[in-house]
Amino acid sequence: MASSAAGCVVIVGSGVIGRSWAMLFASGGFQVKLYDIEQQQIRNALENIRKEMKLLEQAGALKGSLSAEEQLSLISGCPNIQEAVEGAMHIQRRQRLRFLLRDDE
């Protein structure tokens, strides 16, 4: 299990991709802070992660050596970006794909 003294992993965005990153880092034993500008989105994400981890555990497909409850205890939501990134060892965010449209297309 990763040491919490080393800092936490911050996930910026709690949509499908952010939830997946949170689950992956928690499976490795890292403390995870899930940030989003919408507090309700964070609550929804945490509930979704809980359900998904329980299903994965029941199916024997949960990653890592920690139980679903142990992994869930490593994930928390944070509605303030300054608080979320304080002491972070890694910040994970999704890169937006930007498409440039040319005039001749």
The whole-angstrom separation of Cα 10 and Cα 103 is 39
pLDDT over threshold 80, residue 100: no
Residue 66 in any domain: the answer is yes
Residue 76 in any domain: the answer is yes
pLDDT over threshold 90, residue 3: no
pLDDT in tens, 27-65: 999 999 999 999 999 999 999 999 999 999 999 999 999
The whole-angstrom separation of Cα 45 and Cα 77 is 9
Helix (H) or strand (E) holding 53: helix 39-58
Residue 53 in any domain: the answer is yes
Nearest CA among 57, 5, 12 for reference residue 37: 12
Residue 70 in any domain: the answer is yes
Residue 99 in any domain: the answer is no
Residue 80 in any domain: the answer is yes
* Furthest-apart CA atoms within the chain: distance in Å: 55
Give me the CATH number covering residue 79.
3.40.50.720
Domains: count for the chain: 1
Residue 103 in any domain: the answer is no
pLDDT in tens, 62-84: 999 999 999 999 999 999 999 99
Residue 105 in any domain: the answer is no
pTM for this prediction = 0.84
